[in-house]
Structure 1
Amino acid sequence: MLKPFGPDIWMADGTTVTGALGFLYPTRMAVIRLSDGALFVWSPTAPTDRLRGEIDKLGAVRHLIAPNSLHHLFIADWKRAYPDAQLHAAPGLRAKRKDIAFDHDLGEMPAPDWAGQIDQVVVAGNVITRETVFFHKESGTALFTELLQQLPAGWFSGWRGFIARWDLMVAAEPSVPRKFRLAFTDRNAARAAVDRILAWPVEKVLMAHGTPVDTNGQAVLRRAFGWLTT
């Protein structure tokens, strides 16, 4: 289930989950091995014995990351499986999931445990969610959850297919869905965050809901966010 995506980074496809209005979304998670051997688990999907077994062979799970207030469905399951791991909440998630005892809140500065290895930016100014975007320096990989998507052209059908095409969820290359574009009430804050992201030397892009990008990641991001930066 785990697939290498570069030096010390792996991805795994998860189950399909149901979103608003019955839209079904594929899911994907990433695992990054830090320099001390600890594992950073980003946007964890539904845990299975097989997946956990493969992850345990890589090292000890120390950080469980919920990158935005929408990606939290399985975080409590992972905490039960790895009680010594630290839970990191995206802005707004702690108030939404009061049933979970988070250890840390994700902010503009990387935590000391991964500073220098993984950079991060909180994309503020959006009324749907404030997403924390990460950049794994060693592999040149940027990690996105909701703000960047690219589902297969035939993933949705009927009226959902029409909306998905309008929303750019099934565009020819990774795009920011229109609903998230419209939800930015503070474009200056969003533009400042995106400018920081575009300054990263991104080669690859990994999305929770989209086809992974293996090359020319920075160019892909510049096109995806051109509506905001130009």
Structure 2
Amino acid sequence: MSPFAPDLWLVDGPAVTGAAGFRFPTRMAVVRLPDGGGLWVWSPVALTPEVRAAIDALGPVRHLVAPNALHHMFLAEWAAFWPDAVVHAAPGLTEAVARTTLHRTLGDAPDPAWAGTLDQVIVRGNRIATEVVFFHAASATILVTDLVQQIPQDWYRGWRSVVARLDLMTAPVPSVPRKFRLATTDRAAAREGVRRILDWPAERLVIAHGAPLEAGARDALDRAFGWLMR
């Protein structure tokens, strides 16, 4: 666990394997809510003893967040270890897939438990996944899971390296993968969500599959979503 901004920490988890044997780096964010609100955990990674110890040193876990229907792999083990935590899921994720109880569905307005600390917006119109993007106001940090990626260019080998390069998964700058672009069948709905994201006064950017940016978040997102907003 490493501090990224005041009351915001990042944890890099082990790689996970997806479709066609593609392995993905994982990253989770932890926000300490004010006034004893406990910890807000975004896109939980594998719950190792080291991660449990680091989390317990910060405070009680009150909220577990699955920001899209693809980021649920470790949700059940976190919910089992912290049974008092409220589990929040993006539209499209089911309890059968998550293998745990989902208490609330994320919307365009922040939950009262974190309103004023975190803002959020749903990016709709994509056939792969409906993603909820968050903004941590105090640190001017945007949190994105799959819509924007920048996996290291040497991460894959062989034909997967070629596919990842053509898909823009391993582009030299944070980019929306081509498969997500092609899966955006309702561009008007997607633009509405992205417009709100670009209105946030962002400085930092945290992506689940790529290195975080400590500056230049707004410019990076302008470039990443240029294909959609033109």
With the shorter chain as reference, the TM-score category is over 0.9
Quote the offset at 1:95 in angstroms.
Answer: 5.8
Q: Which runs of 4+ in 1 moved over 6 A?
A: none
Which residue does the alignment assign to 2:92? 92
2:24 aligned with 1:25: yes
Which residue does the alignment assign to 1:68? 68
2:124 aligned with 1:124: yes
Which residue does the alignment assign to 1:188? 188
Quote the offset at 1:97 in angstroms.
Answer: 2.3
Which residue does the alignment assign to 1:171? 171
- Percent identity over the alignment? 56
Which residue does the alignment assign to 1:153? 153
Q: For the residues of structure 1 that align with 2:160 and 2:13, how far apart are their CA atoms?
A: 22
2:109 aligned with 1:109: yes
Q: For the residues of structure 1 that align with 2:98 and 2:219, how far apart are their CA atoms?
A: 39
Matches within 5 A, 1:214-229: 214-229=214-229
Summarize deviations over 1:3-48 as a string: whole Å, max 9, x none: 0010100001001100100001010000000112310000000001
Q: For the residues of structure 2 that align with 1:78 and 1:63, how far apart are their CA atoms?
A: 10
Please tell me the residue identity of whatever aligns with 1:107. Answer: G
Q: For the residues of structure 2 that align with 1:8 and 1:95, how far apart are their CA atoms?
A: 30
Note if contact 1:29-1:208 (Cα within 8 Å) is conserved in structure 2.
yes
Gaps of 5+ in 2: none
Note if contact 1:69-1:96 (Cα within 8 Å) is conserved in structure 2.
no
Q: For the residues of structure 2 that align with 1:159 and 1:96, how far apart are their CA atoms?
A: 33
Note if contact 1:76-1:100 (Cα within 8 Å) is conserved in structure 2.
yes
Q: Which moved more, 1:96-105 or 1:65-74?
A: 96-105
Which residue does the alignment assign to 1:51? 51
Please tell me the residue identity of whatever aligns with 2:48. Answer: T
Say which SS state the counterpart of residue 27 (structure 1) adopts. Answer: strand
TM-score by length of 2: 0.97
Q: Which moved more, 1:15-24 or 1:88-97?
A: 88-97
Please tell me the residue identity of whatever aligns with 1:85. Answer: A
Please tell me the residue identity of whatever aligns with 2:76. Answer: A
Q: For the residues of structure 2 that align with 1:142 and 1:126, how far apart are their CA atoms?
A: 20
Summarize deviations over 1:174-211 as a string: whole Å, max 9, x none: 00000000000100000010000000011000011001
TM-score by length of 1: 0.97
CA RMSD of aligned residues (A): 1.0
Gaps of 5+ in 1: none
Quote the offset at 1:216 in angstroms.
Answer: 1.1
The structure-2 alpha-carbon separation of the partners of 1:177 and 1:155, relative to structure 1 and needing over 3 Å to count, comes to same
What number of residue pairs does the alignment pair up?
229
